Structure 1
Amino acid sequence: MSAIEYPAVFAMGAVGYASMELLFRKHTHWTMLIAGGICFLLIYLISNLKHLTKPEKWLIGAIACTAVEFFIGGIVNLSLGWRVWSYAHYPMNVLGQICLAFSILWFFLCIPVCEVCILLKALFHRNGETARKIKGKERR
């Protein structure tokens, strides 16, 4: 692990998630930078676990994102009353902070994000063998 690996991954997730919110919702909140950074870092760690299948990684990533969303929502929305978001109008929501629809969305977002994380890991570690596997040029 390089000294900048985890902070850089966190920063990429923070900027990436806030950018997605700006693109689709036209606004974001500074707490979403924190949520995005934490989620991306967790997916980064999960995606590089060799003993898990890809669907297991996607599912665990979606559960992790949902948990982060519930935790941060509990603080900023329920405790502090900032009303950053509410899923109260969605079916199958929990306290308006998480809902099944967005948990499913997180699952499908984890598919490409896990692949990006594997590439990032190879770049951070400059591991020739991993890079060759990614490019399909594994040594024989």
Structure 2
Amino acid sequence: MKRFLILGFIMGMCYFTLEGFWRGWTNIVMLFVGGLCGALIGLLDEYPQYFNLKIWQQTLISWLVILVIEYSSGMLLNVWLGMGIWDYSAMPLNLNGQICLIYAILWVPLIPFGIWLDNWLRWKLFDEEKPYHLLSIYHDLLTLK
């Protein structure tokens, strides 16, 4: 659990920073939303006896996890609590203004980096197995290996 929290915080900070640069601002709750997504994505290859997934499978599952978390947190934070952190209502193919196809597609090239970053952090912080090279992960994704 301690590793999950540490990795979630670091991944959350990465997301928080990325979103700040992309949108020009962000909200502190995105640290937790992004951290939860990052930490869950990182778990997909941590138990090979249960999850021996190829990178394209990890990317697809991660993409679905992110969309469910983004939609759920959007409904809670933006709709029910009225925080107004994001609103995709004006975007085409949106679902209740909380997720939209254009931004959903943008997650696909970011996910392999998140998978690699989780593995790299585990290697550096917890002396786990050295990760594959980042370019080999993208190569495997593009060739569906």
TM interval, shorter chain, is 0.7 to 0.9
Distance 1:125 1:25 in 2: 33
Identity of aligned residues (%): 26
Q: Please name the residue that 1:138 is paired with.
A: none
Deviation at 1:67, TM superposition (A): 0.8
User: Considering only aligned residues, what root-mean-square deviation do their CA atoms show, in Å?
Assistant: 1.8
Instruction: State the TM-score, normalized to the length of structure 1.
Output: 0.83
Distance 2:114 2:45 in 1: 9
- Give the secondary structure class of the aligned counterpart of 1:82: coil
Q: In structure 2, how many angstroms separate the alpha carbons of the residues matched to 1:12 and 1:46?
A: 17
Partner of 1:34: 32
Deviations 1:87-109 (A, max 9, x none): 11111110000111122111211
Partner of 2:17: 19
Name the residue aligned to 1:57: 58
Give the CA deviation at 1:120.
2.2
Moved over 3 A (4+): 47-50
Deviations 1:69-118 (A, max 9, x none): 00110111110111110111111110000111122111211011111112
Q: In 2, distance between residues paired with 1:25 and 1:79?
A: 23
Gaps in structure 2 of 5+ consecutive residues: 134-145
Partner of 2:137: none
**TM-score (structure 2 length as normaliser):** 0.81
The corresponding residue for 2:121 is 120
Indicate if the aligned counterparts of 1:61 and 1:106 stay in contact, CA closer than 8 A.
Answer: no
Give the partner amino acid of 2:70: E
